[in-house]
Amino acid sequence: MMSPAMVRGAVRPPAVHGYSHQREEYRQRLRRIEGQIRGLQGMVEENRYCIDILTQISAATRALQEVAIGLLDEHLRHCVVGAAATGGDEAEAKFVEASAAIARLVRS
Amino acid sequence: MMSPAMVRGAVRPPAVHGYSHQREEYRQRLRRIEGQIRGLQGMVEENRYCIDILTQISAATRALQEVAIGLLDEHLRHCVVGAAATGGDEAEAKFVEASAAIARLVRS
Amino acid sequence: MMSPAMVRGAVRPPAVHGYSHQREEYRQRLRRIEGQIRGLQGMVEENRYCIDILTQISAATRALQEVAIGLLDEHLRHCVVGAAATGGDEAEAKFVEASAAIARLVRS
Amino acid sequence: MMSPAMVRGAVRPPAVHGYSHQREEYRQRLRRIEGQIRGLQGMVEENRYCIDILTQISAATRALQEVAIGLLDEHLRHCVVGAAATGGDEAEAKFVEASAAIARLVRS
């Protein structure tokens, strides 16, 4: 039996969004980050020392940014390069969009 | 019946770590961030557009940093100022520790 | 009469590095940032209030990051897309290099 | 003969702003950063490779942030702790101000 995502994948091929072949890896990394955030809730609940909590927040933030950098890499390799090959307004829109995403990432 | 944290709290009062009176608020903010991270897993699973995922990662990162800035504020108000009143090596250690936490936060 | 840069430009065409047609704009932005840094030295010399100095440092940092985001945009549009069209090891090297530059920017 | 800053210093003692005893060190670090920014202008003028320019921007950004972290450390040790000893509205204002400066730094 196929999952809804697989059915959807059959209609809109996974390769479209570039990161699909590494989708499982990204999900696992996000699951680990979810565990870190749950761990942080436990630390707050147990009234743990602020600095230890801040160290864990820095680690989770860093892990999130690494996921973002990986996704961006795949986006550039697939969507942006693909649009650039086509050229025109669509290519321009992809460059503007990618730069805005990089800017948000740098500032967050 | 008392939870382990309450027992510990009875020995070492929660006020020691400064952020205790806002503990519930921090837990709720972290719970929302946990929900954002779970939402990100769903987006990856559904093969959603990279840029939309990156926007959500920036939002979660920002929310995490706001928790960190809030905790740091409480840490400065309580632990650091308290140690500074005592003075000596302990005060120096607290300043060094707080600056290192700020540096990690700025760089993550 | 031609400036040394124009002469050099005649040998190695400016378009090679993508950002050339906006070179003058980037130089002006960097000159303004240089002025901000000189202003910071004056503030320190005049023993100005720490928080005002920190506000200026944040402004200069932000201005530097905007230059970086602009240069990265041009780099993606020209060098990376160009290498991707060629394909092979060179394209791969450009993607790896661009992602490393984005990672350094996000972490600094 | 006294410089305007020295005259001002005689009226409002340098120790007030905490970082005074390290003022010369901060000026030197800012002078080095000014040199890095001038070097960046030269790199743009010479049409140097984008990635090399981005690496230098990351280095200058990092150096600026280290100055900021150092100044913040001194500000906490002197102004904030001093205001906290006095207490009241002034102490509260100092904490709010310091947290806002940390937030700007984290986000820039």
Triad D92, D97, D103: Cα angle to 5°: 130
Q: How far apart are CA A25 and CA C87, in angstroms?
A: 25
Q: Give the CA distances from residue A78 to residues A66, B30, C81, in Å, rounded to whole numbers and listed in that order.
A: 19, 34, 11
CA B73 – CA B71 distance, rounded (Å): 5
What are phi and psi for residue D26, nearest 5 degrees?
Answer: -65, -40
Residue contact C106–A77, C-beta within 8 A: no
Give buried/exposed letters for A62-75 (b at 16+ CB in 10 A, else e).
bbbbebbbbbbbbb
- Using a CB-CB cut-off of 8 Å, the residues of chain A touching D108 are 107
Give the pLDDT of residue B10: 39
Asked if D106 and B105 come within 8 Å (Cβ–Cβ), the reply is: yes
Interface contacts (C, D; CB < 8 Å): 147
Over range C19-40, report the average pLDDT.
Answer: 92
Cβ within 8 Å of B, D 36-95 = 65-66, 68-69, 72-73, 76-77, 80-81, 84-85, 95
Chain D interface test: which of C3, C28, C43, C50 (most D C-beta within 10 Å): C50
Burial class (CB in 10 A: 0-12, 13-18, 19+), D39: middle
- Tell how many helices (H) and how many strands (E) occur in chain A: 5, 0
Own/partner long-range contacts of D13-17 (Cβ < 8 Å, ≥24 apart): D14/C47, D15/D78, D16/C47, D16/D78, D17/C47, D17/C48, D17/C49, D17/C50, D17/D75, D17/D78, D17/D79
Closest Cα in chain C, distance from residue D88 (Å)? 20
ipTM reported for the complex surpasses 0.85: no
Residue A83 pLDDT > 60: yes
Q: Give the DSSP H or E segment for A16.
A: none
Please give the pLDDT value at position D17. 58
CA distance A106 to chain D (A): 8
Residues of D in contact with A108 (CB under 8 A): 107
Q: CB of A40 within 8 A of CB of A64? A: no
Q: What are the structure tokens assigned to C91, written together?
A: 């394209």
Contact indicator for B103, D69 with CB cutoff of 8 Å: yes
pLDDT at A17: 58
B63 and B26 in contact (C-beta within 8 Å)?
no
Which residues from C are below 8 Å from A66, CB to CB?
103
Nearest-angstrom CA–CA distance, D68 and D63? 9
pLDDT (tens digit per residue) in C32-86? 999 999 999 999 999 999 999 999 999 999 999 999 999 999 999 989 988 998 8
- Contact between chains at C81 and A77 (C-beta distance less than 8 A): no
Enumerate residues 6+ apart whose C-beta is below 8 A from B100: none
Chain D residues near residue C17 by CB distance under 8 angstroms: 47-50
Task: With CA atoms as reference, report the closest residue to B82 among D16, A76, D84, A92.
Answer: D84
Residue C18's pLDDT is what?
60
Q: Give me the pLDDT at residue C22, please.
A: 87
Low-confidence residues in chain D, pLDDT < 70: 1-20
Torsion of CA B95, B97, B100, B106, to 10 degrees: -80
CA-wise closest residue to A108 among D97, B36, D49:
B36
Query: Residue holding tokens 């600026």?
Result: D64
Please compute, for residue C12, the number of CA atoms within 13 A of its CA located in the half-sphere on the CB side. 11
Nearest Cβ partner for D81 among B81, B99, B105:
B81
* C76 contacts in chain A (CB < 8 Å): 76, 80, 95, 98-99
In the block, tokens 């892990």 appear at A63
- Check residue C68 and give its pLDDT: 97
> pLDDT per position in chain B (108 positions), as tens?
444 444 443 333 444 556 667 899 999 999 999 999 999 999 999 999 999 999 999 999 999 999 999 999 999 998 998 899 889 999 999 999 999 999 999 988
Neighbours of chain C (3+ CB pairs under 8 A): A, B, D
Q: Identify the pLDDT of residue B17.
A: 58
Q: Check if C106 contacts B (Cβ < 8 Å).
A: no
User: Which candidate from A72, A76, A106 shows the least CB-CB separation from C65?
Assistant: A106
A106 touching chain D per CB within 8 A: no
Average pLDDT score over residue span A12-36? 79
Shortest CA gap C10–chain A (Å): 27
Residue A25 in tokens: 């890896």
Helix (H, G, I), strand (E, B) or coil at A13: coil
